[in-house]
Amino acid sequence: MSAQTPDVGEARETMPVPFAGEPFEIGFNPEFLRDGLESVDADDLLLKLISPLRPGLIEAGDDSGFLYLIMPIRLNV
Query: 68 lies in a domain?
Result: yes
pLDDT computed for residue 12 by the predictor: 92
- Asked whether 12 and 2 are in contact (CB, 8 A), the reply is yes
What are the tens digits of pLDDT across the range 3-52? 888 888 999 999 888 888 888 899 999 899 999 999 998 989 999 999 99
- Asked whether 77 and 61 are in contact (CB, 8 A), the reply is no
Query: 47 lies in a domain?
Result: yes
Q: How many domains does the chain have?
A: 1
- CATH code of the domain containing 74: 3.10.150.10
- Asked whether 55 and 70 are in contact (CB, 8 A), the reply is yes
Is the pTM value of this prediction over 0.85? no
Q: Which residues pair with 28 in a beta bridge?
A: 72
The residue segments making up the domain with residue 63 are 25-77
DSSP H helices, 1-77, are 30-39
Q: How many CB atoms lie within 10 A of CB 58?
A: 19
Query: 34 lies in a domain?
Result: yes
Q: Which residues pair with 60 in a beta bridge?
A: 45
Query: 66 lies in a domain?
Result: yes
